Amino acid sequence: MKKSKNKRLAIIIIFVFIIITLFVILLNNKKEPVSLTMWHVYGEQASSPMDKLVDDFNETVGSKEGIVINVTATSNSAEIGDELLDSQAGKSGAKKMPDLFFCHSGNADDLGSENLIDWQDYFTKEELSDYQKDFLEDGKVGDKLLVFPISKSTHMLFINGSMFARFSKDTGLDYEDLSTWDGFFDAAEIFYDWSDGKAFCAMDYILREIELACLSTNPNAKLHNDHGWYDENNKEFKKEFDKFMTSLVKGHIIVSDLYANTQMMTGESLAGISSSAAVLYYNDTVTYPDNRSEPMDLKVLALPISKGGNKVDTLAGTGLCAYKTTDEKAKAAAIFAKWITESQRNLDFVTKTGYMPVRNEAFNKVLSMEFENHDYKDLYHSLSKMEKDYSFLSESYDYNRVLNFYDWLRANQKSFEERYKSGEDVNSLIEECWEKLIG
């Protein structure tokens, strides 16, 4: 009996010893999670859609794979490039360089391609073929894919549908007349007379629209000289510049105060050309200076093209970069990049913000989505059609000089209109604008 008890006790001791040993082995083999810091540009508010996605990742795939992402800073697309350079240089007061961040390809180039991971090393060719080709090309610096597309925006023509209905009834013009720049400028002139001198359209990025009009008929045109600015001898660009400036100095179009939705929501202009992401900022109601109000009935159309030209539009927006440190962190970054751009997840994210999805499959699903908001429905219906036959072209120019030119146009566009009405030659006013641009 005593031997039997001793035998059972020995078995229990051995069993407990085995359990403790296995626990110690597992504890020693358990890897510390890979921790990645992130800076993003998707809003600084607590309910930022990117913050929510990061939380979802950490609680699901991150937990399973041993990856934790911490958002350590938020910024905006205009400022994050300089902030990253300050961090990289170790400037006093700058935050520590993040592992993951959102920026433009120009910012990535400034940081040095040798310091960033090439996403092509972590995605197979088959995986990359699922993404929009134009969007991938936009993220390349040389032959390296440094900026991975998460969401992209483009330029759209926004219309006050209520006002356009009255304008159309009186003039016979319809939305189809706005599909080319020639038709657009004709409509702008007719609207100016019809409305007793109101601008037809406010533009946020008039130089980019001039570039696109040029590229529509001259796809291989060189827009900038070796100094990254406009060449005074570029006849193709000058031809399109003159068309836009003719309409501007006559008062038919204007450069927006900053964003065209402001002028549209007060009835100052019938239309606006802005980023697709501007759909976020339109009200349902137009309130005119005399306090009359009516439904906006927003219509969102594709950007006009040059008559007989190719269908082209811009490609804007930041993408995801990963700073090169360890292979372990690079692999973790790739897992996050694949997760965040999974078709349905990416579609849910971008359609809340006016951006385009980055996967082919996601784009194909857009038309089958149900949108509670009419504005978003109209936007994504147009974007879905554009995806089939438009080419989306990368942007590249000196933003500071562009903004300075826009400020100058804003300050002078009303006086140009008055000078033209007083009898000054339209060509001399256009040349004044050209001289200011080329410096």
User: Cα(225)–Cα(236) distance, rounded to whole angstroms?
Assistant: 13
91-136 tens-digit pLDDT? 999 999 999 999 999 999 999 999 999 999 999 999 999 999 999 9
Question: Which pLDDT does position 319 carry in this prediction?
Answer: 96
Between 258 and 52, the higher pLDDT residue:
52
* C-alpha pair distances (Å), 30 with each of 60, 66, 69, 133: 18, 10, 19, 40
Calculate the average pLDDT of the chain.
Answer: 92
pLDDT at 242 over 60: yes
Please state, for a pLDDT cut of 90, what percent of the chain lies above it. Answer: 82
Q: Most distant CA pair in the chain: distance in Å?
A: 122
**Is the distance from CB of 91 to CB of 300 less than 8 angstroms?**
no
Please state whether the predicted TM-score (pTM) of the whole model is above 0.85. Answer: yes
Read off the pLDDT band of 23 (50, 70, 90). Answer: low
Question: Which pLDDT does position 6 carry in this prediction?
Answer: 58
Read off the pLDDT band of 26 (50, 70, 90). Answer: very low
The DSSP result for 9-74, as a single string, is HHHHHHHHHHHHHHHHHHHHHPPPPEEEEEEE-S-SSTT-HHHHHHHHHHHTHHHHHTEEEEEEEE
Question: Which pLDDT does position 43 carry in this prediction?
Answer: 73
pLDDT at 24 over 60: no
Question: Which pLDDT does position 367 carry in this prediction?
Answer: 84
Mean pLDDT in residue range 286-315:
95
User: Cα(11)–Cα(163) distance, rounded to whole angstroms?
Assistant: 89
pLDDT at 388 over 60: yes
Question: Which pLDDT does position 282 carry in this prediction?
Answer: 93
The counts of H helices and E strands in the chain are 18, 16
Structure tokens at 191: 């609207």
pLDDT at 409 over 70: yes
Phi, psi (deg, nearest 5) at residue 102: -105, 130
Question: Which pLDDT does position 396 carry in this prediction?
Answer: 81
Question: Which pLDDT does position 3 carry in this prediction?
Answer: 53
Structure tokens at 95: 């935050």
* C-alpha pair distances (Å), 11 with each of 4, 21, 22, 387, 403: 11, 15, 16, 70, 81
Structure tokens at 296: 């906006």
